[in-house]
Amino acid sequence: MHPLVSPGAGPIPGVPSQQPTNLFRFGEITLYSTHAFVAGTALANSQNRIFTTPLGAQGQGYAVGLSKTETNLKEGGRIPSGQAYDVYGVATQVIGATTDVDGNIDQQCVAFDDASTITDLQNVVNNGVLSWDFTQTVVDICPVMLAGAGGGVFGAISTNAANASAGAMNNGNGGIWMYRKHPVALPGNTTFAILIQFGSRTCPVQGVINGVSADTLSIAIRVVLLGYYKSVIEIGN
């Protein structure tokens, strides 16, 4: 007796004698982390480590636990076992924020729409440098202006007769500049962080909104790693 096959079909594939013990899942994903800098923070000669604080924990300039907006890491500073990532792009976003009465980050909803706030944005774009931190080894990535959303300050501002501004500026809308040809591999259990570093000529966070120093502007810097992931799915014997 012959098995039923469709006309023109190829040979029936052989059935493995043993059931596989695991499967592999592939896809694209982003890992991101954010560091906050309240008004008046001195940035010059500083090294600020991110990707070390997990979701819900305090750290990286936040007095209240990081929310989903700030990070998607369930475990700070380590790639989970059974997973691996190939990072093919790095993006950096500068976010304007207000400061509460205790001097902590309050709401991240301030537009860079006038000379004073744009100065704080340009300060980060022009002076910030990103680096990998692999415990014993630090490897420079690039200046912030080339980190994904790079290209300098970009946007549009208009001012009416009452001298009120409308519009917003941000860290450009450029494409991915780094690791397009040679991704960075992060195997499972890899311990890592990203450093946001500033040189000696960097200005402090001015903390001025619409020219009024009483309206304290804080900033947050979010770094996003774009890449592919591979995870192992255990299915038993």
Tens of pLDDT, residues 22-50 = 677 788 888 999 999 998 899 999 999 99
Parallel, antiparallel, or unpaired: how do β-strands 154-159 and 137-143 relate?
A: unpaired
Q: Is the pLDDT of residue 20 over 90?
A: no
Q: What is the mean pLDDT of residues 173-189?
A: 78
Comparison of pLDDT for 219 and 13, the residue scoring more: 219
- Judged by DSSP in three states, 117 sits in helix
Out of 29-33, 142-146, 211-215, 230-234, least confident range: 211-215
Out of 32-36, 88-92, 99-103, least confident range: 99-103
pLDDT score recorded for residue 236 = 58
Q: Is the pLDDT of residue 227 over 60?
A: yes
Q: Is the pLDDT of residue 160 over 60?
A: yes
Task: Identify the CA nearest to 38 among candidates 91, 95, 114, 119.
Answer: 95
| CA pair distance 168, 77, nearest whole angstrom | 33
pTM exceeds 0.85 for this model? no
Comparison of pLDDT for 152 and 119, the residue scoring more: 119
Do 82 and 231 meet the contact criterion of CB atoms below 8 Å apart?
Answer: yes
pLDDT score recorded for residue 22 = 63
